[in-house]
Amino acid sequence: MKEKIRAAVIGAGMIARAAHIPALLSAGESVELVAVCDRDPETAAACAKDFSVPRWYADEEALLREERPDLVCVCTPNGTHVRITRLALENGANVICEKPLALSYREGLGLYRLAEEKGLCLAACQTQRFQRGILAAQEYVSEGLLGTPYYGDIERIRRRGIPTWGNFLKRSANGGGALADIGVHAIDAILWIMGNPRVLGVTGVSSRAIIAGENQVRSSSRECGMLSGPEISVLAQTADSDVEDFATGMIRTEKAPITFRIGWAAHLPDANRLTVLGDRMGLTAPDMRVYGALGQDQCDFTPRLFPLGPWDNQPFSGHYYLIHNVADALLGRARLVIRPEETLNTLAAIDLFYMSAEAGREAKREEIEIRPGAGEHRRRGTASAGV
């Protein structure tokens, strides 16, 4: 068994610089970062220089062929995740891929089957799992403290947080808008908290009312998701966008329904709240408030939660915990926190949302599992019906 993992990063944009590379470097006793790659040679060279990475490449195939890394972090636009992840797996590398792993359930299933055939690890960056309040909620539900969960809700709203960099506003590159960007985290987290109940169907509606009608309202880089670097005032230029800024609907699971409201921009205050109701108690996370009864009295309380570990205050703390968990798993010291069946369940919910929004009806699980090639031909983004 290896004593140290040779790692490489493909894609040298914001999430690589702010999250993956610092997290890999923080695992220096277990991980050696040997190379970075970006299709833009200047970006690749600058990234390697800034982080003292020995080598850089402008071609991912050359990197994989010459470096033979044990672990690859895929930090490229969503539309390239499947191709690059498959290429890395075929070249014998374990993979950590940014969310969402794929733009359809069947594509994700194909990647996990390939990883299993190769005996390799594949993990998606579902990093909300490593927030202290989310972890506590999952523990409380799994231990039965809430009783039987019968309802879940997601409220993930940005007042004005339309991304202003990269390819987030193009469905050809991002696969969708707010749901494919920030919604994937919330959906994964609440499904995990509730015990990963199988997603059976989704009824969804999307809107692009703000993107379509407004591009001159200022927000901050933090509000748009740029958690590292200086906070600056930004304007979202949305004229050429073709993705949704708001998504709402219901996920029907085998155990309980989950409603959701997810938006990059809305005339509402910022919100980041998951709600789970059980027949004994209810809770909200990640703020972690618990609602129940003590004898004949209603009893509401807030648990005292201690830090998860040394990286809690990092801008992208979840990436640190995830990358350390994957490294420890590869070195035989831990089990993976994020399991294939959980990521596939999240991908099913996302796939079914866009199908439902386009068709104006509930989309059912069997539609993406049975029909050959289903989920791979559709273009993600705007639905025909608005909110």
Domains and CATH numbers, the chain: 5-127+312-337 (3.40.50.720), 129-308+343-369 (3.30.360.10)
Confidence check: pLDDT of 109 > 70: yes
* Pairing, β 55-57 against β 282-285: unpaired
**pLDDT (average), residues 108-135:** 97
Percent of the chain at pLDDT > 70 equals: 94
**pLDDT (average), residues 286-311:** 96
Digit-coded pLDDT (tens) for 124-145: 999 999 999 999 999 999 999 9
Q: Find the helix or strand (DSSP H, E) in which 132 lies.
A: helix 132-142
Determine the pLDDT at residue 381.
Answer: 42
Digit-coded pLDDT (tens) for 5-63: 999 999 999 999 999 999 999 999 999 999 999 999 999 999 999 999 999 999 999 99
* Pairing, β 5-10 against β 31-37: parallel
Q: How far is CA 108 from CA 1, 324, 358, 384, in A?
A: 28, 23, 21, 26
Closest CA to 105 of 201, 208, 173, 207: 201
Confidence check: pLDDT of 376 > 50: no
Confidence check: pLDDT of 297 > 60: yes
What is the phi/psi pair of residue 290, to 5°? Answer: -120, 135
Q: Across all residues in the chain, what is the average pLDDT?
A: 92
Between 167 and 46, whose confidence is greater? 46
**pLDDT (average), residues 193-222:** 89
Closest CA to 381 of 80, 180, 166, 157: 180
State pTM to two decimals. 0.92
**pLDDT (average), residues 324-341:** 97
Percent of the chain at pLDDT > 90 equals: 81
Least confident of 201-215, 299-313, 334-348: 201-215
Determine the pLDDT at residue 384.
Answer: 32
Closest CA to 175 of 103, 76, 106, 242: 103
Determine the pLDDT at residue 317.
Answer: 96
Confidence check: pLDDT of 372 > 60: no
